[in-house]
Structure 1
């Protein structure tokens, strides 16, 4: 295997930076990477350390999935000591209904992804469930905004995208004797 490499000195120490393997990285790309590394050295940064930090940051972002943040949100609901029925409903929303987006990086989840998740639920006649699931997803995204893990809440765009739940009225009780 042939590698593009760059030898450089940083703080008086000789170092070697790998720019990529030959068939996968073209000469033009290797030169661009070399130029970026030289700029970093001129700015007082070690390119190999920067490369490691960039890799760690990318891995960390990839690990911050919807499921991880949703579990954190659920734990905060437990800490608030909500009713067991409410906690079961939220767990059902997160674990079962939102399962298709569990492994998506939270900052890469779009409104289209959420629409694709919620529309089939609405079309099956469960309008109220779709509405409440969107609200739960929105609460999870608000947590990510507050903790600076995502820039915006994509579910906010879907607020009026669904049909309202069907409301069936009940006749008022006018005669107390009939009620008994």
Structure 2
């Protein structure tokens, strides 16, 4: 019998861990300490496996069921939900660590290895430092057009209109190369090709 919100909310701990089944392999594990964890048991390539969906109440009954259904779709497509969950977690951690600051540092190091002129290094460092203030700690994949616009506005307020015109292609080229084709919005690519400072780029969500 499927669980109800009340049954999940009022589940009490006992001396031993106990499972409250919701059907389709999904159950709520109630530990002796009172913690409640969503888990899905399933078979993949003839082996019994299990994947966790998080803890209640952070993950509600409705959300747990949605994740169970998503896992079932993966199984139907011949994919292991546990492996996919691990890959998703790994991808998120890599994306979170892949910040603008890290990309900027790598680019400057590359320029140094190529023995670029001191004047070129200084100008590039100055341009990147302008962006670092606002988006330095942001993961590359999460940077939004409006954040880039904020950087350009600051440059304009300093009267550096030529810099504001040149910064978008330089900045977006750094984002494009690190994010790759899957992570680069079309408007970002359009901005990079733009000959002038393209405010309209940030107008579409």
Q: TM-score, normalised by structure 2?
A: 0.66
Quote the Cα distance in structure 2 between the aligned partners of 1:44 and 1:142.
Answer: 33
The offset of 1:140, in angstroms, is 1.6
**Match of 1:62, SS?**
helix
The offset of 1:155, in angstroms, is 8.1
The offset of 1:39, in angstroms, is 2.2
Q: 1:108 — aligned with what?
A: 142
Query: Which of 27, 38, 55 is equivalent to 2:61?
Result: 27
**Match of 2:40, SS?**
strand
Q: 2:165 — aligned with what?
A: 131
The offset of 1:57, in angstroms, is 1.1
Matches within 5 A, 1:1-180: 1-94=35-128, 96-99=129-132, 100-144=134-178, 147-148=180-181, 150-152=183-185, 153=188, 156=191, 159-161=196-198
Query: Which is bigger in relative contact order (C-alpha 8 A, separation at least 6)?
Result: 1
Segments of 5+ residues of structure 2 without an aligned counterpart are 1-34, 200-205
The offset of 1:46, in angstroms, is 1.6
Segments of 5+ residues of structure 1 without an aligned counterpart are 163-180
Q: TM-score, normalised by structure 1?
A: 0.74
Quote the Cα distance in structure 2 between the aligned partners of 1:70 and 1:47.
Answer: 36
Cα gap change, 1:135 to 1:111, in 2 (>3 Å): same
Contact 2:96 2:139 in 1 (8 A): yes
The offset of 1:51, in angstroms, is 0.5
Larger radius of gyration: 1
Deviation sequence 1:117-145 (CA, Å, 0-9, x none): 12122122232343343343133234336
Aligned CA RMSD, in angstroms, stands at 2.5
Cα gap change, 1:46 to 1:77, in 2 (>3 Å): same
Task: Report the count of equivalent residues.
Answer: 160
The offset of 1:161, in angstroms, is 4.4
